[in-house]
Amino acid sequence: MTRPPTVQAGLAAPAPTVHIFGFNECPDTRKALRFFSERRRPVHFVNLQERPATRGELRRFEEKFGAAALVDREGPRFRALGLHVSGDSPQRLLQRALGEPRLLRTPLVRVGHRVSVGHTPGEWQAALEAARAAAPGAGGRESEGPARR
């Protein structure tokens, strides 16, 4: 049963789901999960150890940041595979990261159409504010402002 239009207009649109790709034991991934849970945002967490990211999902991050920004060149897995001495291109390293997700910088965060790599709370907050501003009927609700301390 649908509600009359006058009742539907008063409801705020649901917040976009936040997608976080990372590892359970990664401190920056845990910080991202905590950041969004403190703001009561629904989070879809993808543990890259159990399910590596798809090429299509990584493409969103690659288009904004480039392949080189997604590869963690200081990570232990990068050195363990001997990639620090190989002359592989960033695109080839990213292709290899599809099978070796530990090569990626984490967390990879997507809020709606906005993406970020690594621990970037400023970008996360900007993405939440942009999503709130784009939501129909979200104008001027004080309860959705910054968290009170």
Condensed to tens digits (0 to 9), the pLDDT of residues 4-26 reads 554 445 555 566 789 999 999 99
**Given pLDDT bands bounded at 50, 70 and 90, which one contains residue 142?**
very low
The residue that leads in pLDDT, 23 or 68, is 23
CATH number at residue 123: 3.40.30.10
Cα 108 from Cα 90, distance rounded (Å): 17
Phi, psi of 85 (to 5 degrees): -105, -10
Domain for residue 147, yes or no?
no
Q: Which domain holds residue 33?
A: 19-43+53-133
Condensed to tens digits (0 to 9), the pLDDT of residues 72-126 reads 888 888 777 777 556 667 788 888 888 889 889 999 999 988 999 999 999 999 9
> The pTM is what?
0.76
Domain for residue 81, yes or no?
yes
Radius of gyration of the chain (CA): 18
Total structural domains within the chain: 1
